[in-house]
Amino acid sequence: MSSIQISDIKNALRGLPLGPATVTRRVESLSEDVDRQVLKDLSLCEYFSLQFNESQDVMDTAQLVVFVRMAFQDSTTKEDFLTLLHLKERTRGEDIYNEFKKYVSENDIPIHKLVAITTDGAPAMRGVRAGFVALCNNDPDFPDFVNYHCVIHQQALAGKVLDFSQVVALHRLFKALLDELDAAYGDLILHADVWWLSRSKVLQRFVDLLPEIKTFLSTRNEEHEQLFDDAWLLDLGFLTDLTAKLNALNNELQGKDQHLPHMISAVNAFKAKLGVWTTHLKNGTLTHFSNLKKMSQAIEDKDAFYPEQYCAHLDKVATEFNRRFGELDVMEDIAAFVSNPFLPIDIEQLSAKFQQVFSLQSGVDMEIVDLHNDIELKARSGDTDFWELVSIENTYFRSTYLCEMAFSQMKIIKTKYTSCLTDRHLTDCLRLAVCSYEPNYKAITDSIQSQPSH
């Protein structure tokens, strides 16, 4: 490359407006453009649902993330970031409600189109009288809407009925010896109580490194009798296997564009697997419990191992799943019919469920009959009450995964080194980081008069 070309490139780069104030304005412009697009779609959509979750940033300021899923007249849906609300003082249900109402008013949100709200299980969100959802339900400006407790939180809480505190209570600090032995893992990751299922990875690494751990303790002349106790080791193997299975379900329930039928299928499949695993354990089959099998082969007293002793724990998890996911039973037939209208059905029963879920004055039995017998699905082209309900159902969030994903981005954006970010600029940066809408770059650049930095 000639010196003239290099000089031209340098001059071009010098001409770019890259001063701090200029970059700030550009980020603001991009964020405002994306926000306008989302708000425009909100005004055009037929219905929308919201998911909320709250977390603390690096400055201990409570931040409330809101995502929206919209259904349009052509039966398509869009889900994306709506806003970040900043709770400066308290985080009661009343505070969240007031902040959200202010946002709705300032941005002309068509709240009459709201059909569902999904939150985590925090009292501030789901308190019977003073929770955010309850306050919205009692507000005449809000329509009747369905509210859901995040299915991922429910699933994690269902898993917490397992009581193996004696297994996970040991202190784990083995980095020095593991480095010396060049073990497979450099360190054990400590679990976070907020995400209980992260223990599955901790437990698996603990099991994998058990020989090194015993060596480490031996060099320090420390004795932990549990590590040589057959019953404790068997419990460790079982808990490691089961939490890994719970974690796999947790991962399956995460992700974007997760609709109700998929989540119902995943939860139902797991409940069915619990029954299969119980049968296998009763028969002494450990095919699906590799760590338990490994421990049973390693213990000295083979007669001390009775696989069926763990069936009660699986039964306890199954009972808790049935209790926590009872609301899915009501939606299951509706979701199945929407996915495949030609399945054998009880028309009156299905119509009654539609009426219950969507608070209808009358059933939709005639439309169900028409659709069930329309082999060409001509009903899809009609503007019927039934397909209006399908559009509503398609907007429902069943988890707050998108909010959790946004919090991960927020931790990257706002660190101890960037803690001076204003609330507005944090919102702008987060919107651009997680939003799938493409800024209208041409319109933005056309509206900007270039001012090179000096």
pLDDT tens track for 11-56? 766 666 667 777 888 888 999 999 999 999 999 998 898 989 888 8
Domain that holds residue 39: 3-150+400-446
358 and 222 fall within a common domain: no
Let me know if residue 247 belongs to a domain: yes
Answer yes or no: do 360 and 257 share one domain. Answer: no
Residue 451 lies in a domain: no
Same domain, 258 and 269: yes
One domain, residues 382 and 255: no
User: 113 and 132 share a domain?
Assistant: yes
Single residue among 277, 309, 324 that ends a domain in this structure: 324
The answer on 134 and 70 residing in a single domain is yes
Does residue 279 have a pLDDT over 90? yes
The verdict on 334 and 316 lying in the same domain is no
| Boundary of a domain, candidates 324, 351, 381 | 324
- List pLDDT tens digits, range 63-108: 989 999 998 888 788 889 999 999 887 889 999 999 999 999 999 9
Domain count along the chain: 3
pLDDT score at 216 = 74
Q: What is the CATH number of the domain that holds 123?
A: 3.30.420
Extract the tokens encoding 451: 């001012």
Judge whether 453 lies within some domain: no
- My answer on whether 352 and 421 are in the same domain is no
If asked whether residues 165 and 246 sit together in one domain, one would say: yes
Is the same domain home to 65 and 204? no
Most confident range (mean pLDDT) of 149-153, 391-395, 400-404, 426-430 is: 426-430
